[in-house]
């Protein structure tokens, strides 16, 4: 019989919304919570909400985080997700320090945390897998293939290759990303299933030998293998295939003696409609931790997965048997990222003037920031997760739109308005979105929408308020000898476009905030900065020449392929910049000669920094 472990204090080895989530669970369970933070996060919400906090130099420093746990008097360490959550060395160091690691054993993390070894276990457990190839021996007829890092996850080191001539470049990039993110550049090459859906099964095991599943989620709406929208249960899945995924996931966990929360991920091939007839599934990987999208499972099961993690870590048996776990209704979650969808999804960083999140009974907001905050390019760009539940899928999507409509982020660009448009689009509503859909998409969703009339009306209302509030200074158009003259305010967009807007407080208008003579107006998640038109104002343009190759986002220079004097051709790769899990290539705008290199590998550069200058051939 497994002995229980007394846990009174939990160190949360993470940041942002997941750290806040674990802190809340600890408080509900009557446990003391300890946050860790870097200097950048000293004033973050997860620090303020925990019972205690300890500074660390890095969230990735195993020795420092374990020392913080010991010094704080913690009995257990919860790793959250990302950072050290799937680091077997960290789990082992926590246990060696006499503390409880809230997760599976180091041995299981090592085994299942690597995609190549997990694949071998899956085959032994009878889980279907895709064909695999050696990195340097991919048959000509095997394409398309998926190159991915054997260690880690989160879409890092993962690239689809459709032509043999592109394989070497994808392998080089994947190796660099894998080495940088996971300290291991081992790669796996498998057949890529076109149009596949990403379906994952939530599993839980305890120290008493019991393993259960908590149904499945669909996470097919992805950009560059980074999830954007998740939902539970997976829509339009063949019932027989659904049962197979549940059973094989449990079998996989039983094969390795899995303990704690985990996710078994599959790629489902086959058309939607007709009840999913003819669909097949292939094992992708196993995540040996809590997932970002766990709230949708909590919504449809009514269970607290973090509380289950704490109970299992303390040696308690799972509170429910498989037959007692039910799935009710539908839940949808969107991730709010600091990125601009209308400039190639470039990551954003800087000062958030205000972040407000909608929500109502039965719906949830998991936010890393609220109110005024600073967003750094040093960490993941996810600012929040908005979650909604309904009796069916359409109702859940409708409820989610309400949550988005009650939210606003002022100060930096986000994908909030764009992701609302995505979940309300025909392809998403009908279940057409697969894992490659967004990467191949080239349609109106990527076009910046026109400023909404509701946003203009809100700006006009605020900009039309007079400084003189006496009856003689009011701008309401009052006249003694007739009806009031309508008040018209000329509202300008940042590019100088001007709109004549009639002020009418009775008409529907956006949520808006005035700061000086500027207004931040948010309608359906899309925030606009508007001001009163000024005929004397002139727009400025950036002083960057056509020959300058600039950093498209604030980040780190991870590659420089040229030096001064090199002759290049148009479109040639010159280097790469990375920030917030995204690597963007720098390419030559034309044929010419490199006359200036303004950075070195490892340098942190600002958006717009001139990295390379290519003088055009005469």
Tell the burial category of 563 from Cβ atoms under 10 Å away from its Cβ (0-12, 13-18, 19+): exposed
Give Cβ neighbours of residue 38 (< 8 Å, ≥ 6 apart).
Answer: 15, 55, 56, 57, 58, 59
The answer to whether the beta carbons of residues 340 and 419 sit under 8 Å apart is no
What is the reported pLDDT for 194?
86
Rounded CA-CA distance 370/393 in Å is 29
Q: How many CB atoms lie within 10 A of CB 58?
A: 11
Q: Please provide the DSSP assignment of 470-518 as one string.
A: STTT--S--BTTBSPPPPEEEEE-TTS-EEEEE--TTS---EEEEETTE
Amino acid 618: pLDDT: 65
Regions of the chain where pLDDT drops below 50: 1, 473-474, 536-544
Answer with the one of 160, 191, 222 that is the final residue of a domain. Answer: 191
Write down the pLDDT at residue 540: 36
Give the C-alpha separation, 491 to 499, whole Å: 5
Order across the sheet with 498-502: list the strands: 498-502, 488-492, 526-532, 518-523, 511-515
d(CA 417, CA 439): 18
Nearest alpha-carbon partner for 439 in 176, 220, 192, 149: 220
* Domain stop point among 506, 532, 558: 532
Q: Is 331 left (phi over 0), alpha (psi -120 to 50) or beta?
A: beta
Structure tokens that stand for 280 in this block: 């097949």
Q: Are 187 and 201 in a shared domain?
A: no
* Cα 554 from Cα 390, distance rounded (Å): 39
**Nearest CA to 377 among 581, 103, 148?**
581
Q: What HEC string does 389-420 produce?
A: EECCHHHHHHHHHHHHHCCEEECCCCCHHHHH
- The answer to whether residue 21 sits within a structural domain is yes
d(CA 80, CA 105): 15
Q: Are residues 522 and 555 in the same domain?
A: no
Position 537 in a domain: no
Q: How far is the C-alpha of 576 from the C-alpha of 553, rounded, in Å?
A: 11
Residues 492 and 379 in one domain: no
Residues 491 and 553 in one domain: no
Mean pLDDT for the chain? Answer: 90
**Do 218 and 311 fall into the same domain?**
yes
The CATH number of whichever domain residue 46 belongs to comes to 3.40.50.20
The CATH number linked to 603 is: 2.40.50.100
Nearest Cα to Cα of residue 122 among 289, 285, 287: 285
Same-domain check for residues 247 and 139: no
| pLDDT for the residue numbered 73 | 98
Whether 313 and 438 map to the same domain: the answer is: yes
- CB proximity list for 390: less than 8 A, separation 6 or greater: 329, 330, 331, 396, 397, 398, 399
Tell me the CATH number at 343. 3.30.470.20
| Residue among 320, 317, 206, 315 at smallest CA distance from 260 | 206
Structural domain includes residue 19: yes
Answer yes or no: do 520 and 585 share one domain.
no
Q: Is 236 helix (H, G, I), strand (E, B) or coil?
A: coil
Rg, C-alpha atoms of the chain: 26
Domains of the chain: total? 5
Give the three-state DSSP class for 179: helix
298 assigned to some structural domain = yes
Is residue 335 within 8 Å of 382, Cβ to Cβ?
Answer: yes
**CA separation for the pair 493, 476 (Å, rounded):** 24
> Can you give the pLDDT at residue 163?
94
Same domain, 315 and 463: no
User: Residue 316 has what pLDDT?
Assistant: 97
- ∠ CA 165-285-193, rounded to 5°: 45
CATH no. for residue 459? 3.30.700.40
Last residue of a domain, which of 532, 566, 601?
532
Residue 539 lies in a domain: no
431 plus 496 within the same structural domain: no
Do 369 and 393 fall within a single domain? Answer: yes
**Domain assignment of residue 175, given as a range:** 131-191
pLDDT at 167: 96
Task: Name beta bridge partners: 2.
Answer: none
What's the CA gap between 476 and 503, in Å, rounded? 9
Return the CATH number at 163. Answer: 3.30.1490.20
Q: Is residue 463 part of a domain?
A: yes
Residue 203 and residue 76 share a domain: no
497 inside domain: yes
Cis peptide before 577 (omega within 30 of 0): no
Question: Does any domain span residue 333?
Answer: yes
CA angle 278/280/281 to nearest 5° reads 160
């Amino acid at each position: 019989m497994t002995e229980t472990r007394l846990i009174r204090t939990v160190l949360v080895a993470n940041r942002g919304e997941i750290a806040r989530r674990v802190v809340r669970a600890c408080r509900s369970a009557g446990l003391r919570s300890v946050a860790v933070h870097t200097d950048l996060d000293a004033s973050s919400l997860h620090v303020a909400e925990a019972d205690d906090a300890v500074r660390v130099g890095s969230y990735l420093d195993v020795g420092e985080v374990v020392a913080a746990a010991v010094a704080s008097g913690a009995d257990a360490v919860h790793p959250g997700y990302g950072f050290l959550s799937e680091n077997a060395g960290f789990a082992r160091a926590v246990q060696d320090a006499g503390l409880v690691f809230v997760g599976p054993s180091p041995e299981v993390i090592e085994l299942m945390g690597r995609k190549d070894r997990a694949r071998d276990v899956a085959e032994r457990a009878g889980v279907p897998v895709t064909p695999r190839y050696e990195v340097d021996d991919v048959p000509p007829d095997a394409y398309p293939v998926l190159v991915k890092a054997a260690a880690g996850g989160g879409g890092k080191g993962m690239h689809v290759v459709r032509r043999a001539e592109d394989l070497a470049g994808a392998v080089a990039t994947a190796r660099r990303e894998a080495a940088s993110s996971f300290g291991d550049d081992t790669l796996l090459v498998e057949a890529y299933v076109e149009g596949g859906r990403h379906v994952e099964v939530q599993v839980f095991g305890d120290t008493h030998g019991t393993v259960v599943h908590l149904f499945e989620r669909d996470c097919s709406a992805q950009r560059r293998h980074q999830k954007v929208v998740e939902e539970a249960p997976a829509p339009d899945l063949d019932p027989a295939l659904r049962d197979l995924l549940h059973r094989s996931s449990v079998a996989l966990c039983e094969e390795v003696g899995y303990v704690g929360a985990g996710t078994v991920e599959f790629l489902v091939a086959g058309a939607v409609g007709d009840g999913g007839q003819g669909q097949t599934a292939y094992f992708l990987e196993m995540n040996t931790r809590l997932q970002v999208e766990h709230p949708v499972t909590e919504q449809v099961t009514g269970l607290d997965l973090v509380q289950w993690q704490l109970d299992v870590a303390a040696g308690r048996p799972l509170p429910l048997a498989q037959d007692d776990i039910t799935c009710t209704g539908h839940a949808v979650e969107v991730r709010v990222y600091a990125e601009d969808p209308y400039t190639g999804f470039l990551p954003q960083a800087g000062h958030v003037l205000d972040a407000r999140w909608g929500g109502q009974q039965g719906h949830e907001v998991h936010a890393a920031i609220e109110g005024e905050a600073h967003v750094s390019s040093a960490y993941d760009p996810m600012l929040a997760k908005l979650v909604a539940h309904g009796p069916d899928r359409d109702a859940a999507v409708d409820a989610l739109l309400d949550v988005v409509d009650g939210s606003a982020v002022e100060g930096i660009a986000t994908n909030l308005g764009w992701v609302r448009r995505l979940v309300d689009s025909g392809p998403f509503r009908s279940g057409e979105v697969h894992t490659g859909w967004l990467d191949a998409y080239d349609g109106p969703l990527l076009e910046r929408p026109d400023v909404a009339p509701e946003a203009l009306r809100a700006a006009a209302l605020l900009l039309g308020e007079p400084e003189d509030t006496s009856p003689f200074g009011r701008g309401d158009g009052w006249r003694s000898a007739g009806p009031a003259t309508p008040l018209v305010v000329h509202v300008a967009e940042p590019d100088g476009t001007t709109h004549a807007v009639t002020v009418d407080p009775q008409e529907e208008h956006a949520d808006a905030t005035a700061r000086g003579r500027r207004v931040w107006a948010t309608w359906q998640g899309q925030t606009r900065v508007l001001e009163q038109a000024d005929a004397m104002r002139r727009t400025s343009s950036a002083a960057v020449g056509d020959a300058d190759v600039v950093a498209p986002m604030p980040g780190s220079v991870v590659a420089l392929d040229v030096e001064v004097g090199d002759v290049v051709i148009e479109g040639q790769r010159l280097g790469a910049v990375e920030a917030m899990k995204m690597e963007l290539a720098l390419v030559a705008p034309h044929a010419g000669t490199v006359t200036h290199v303004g950075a070195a590998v490892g340098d942190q550069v600002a958006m717009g920094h001139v990295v390379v200058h290519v003088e055009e051939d005469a």
